[in-house]
Amino acid sequence: MTKTHHPTLSGLYLITDPKTCPSQTILLHKAHAALKGGVRLIQYRSKLLSKAQQLQDCLKLKQICGKYNAHLLINDHLEIAQKLNLGLHIGQQDISLTTARTTLGHNTIIGVTCHDQLSLALAAEKAGADYVSFGAFFNSHTKTQAHQASPNILIQAKHILSLPLCAIGGINIDTAGLLYQKGADLIAISHAILSSTNIEATCTKLKFLCNQKKSHGINGFYDRTFKSMCIYYTPCK
């Protein structure tokens, strides 16, 4: 079976957090504002709530995402992903990508955490991942013990991988531009969006950074003035 190409795997990627979304009402309100501001993917992540509550949250989120033609993924919960036809994000200690792909099929978005290791990303690409995630690039509010990654890993990854790259970990308006410049296709943000007093405006600014920093498509040219190879990137959708 041929794997579906997902053209929307670029731009802003919201990761939910029960600390900043302590109720379903707050979660849905903030998700709606983020989608209005330009978020194109949402990952539902909760390690604390019951399976029944997670199921109900995802049902409501999926309805909102559908209105904006956005994708909803769930973190490390294969059963709910299968039941609701959601995408899935998995870490290195979660179920295998092979198991997830066999269960969910070739048309489902599956992303894989690769920390700061290109070898993990190469293995994920070979196993059929739709995107790989690198980070944390900065101090994270949601994962304080996360692996630290250098932004330059994105440059290296662009040379050896053909699937979208996601940057995650402590990213905000001041740091997102750097990661776009280095080659990130997706910028995954939780705290900087969900703790904002104006979520829609924050997302609009982040989307503007995406369009500004990635304006000319992954290609290279030789600059005779500076005698160096320059890289430029495709615009976000």
Which residue type, as a one-letter code, is found at position 208?
F
- Can you give the pLDDT at residue 226? 31
Total-model pTM: 0.87
What domains, with CATH codes, occur in the chain? 11-232 (3.20.20.70)
Sign of the dihedral through C-alpha 220, 224, 228, 232: negative
HSE-CB for 122 with a 13 A CA cutoff: 8
Tens of pLDDT, residue by residue over 68-105, are: 999 999 999 999 999 999 999 999 999 999 999 999 99
Tens of pLDDT, residue by residue over 40-50, are: 999 999 988 99
Both structure tokens of 72: 């909803």
CA 147 to chain centre: 17
- Can you give the pLDDT at residue 144? 63
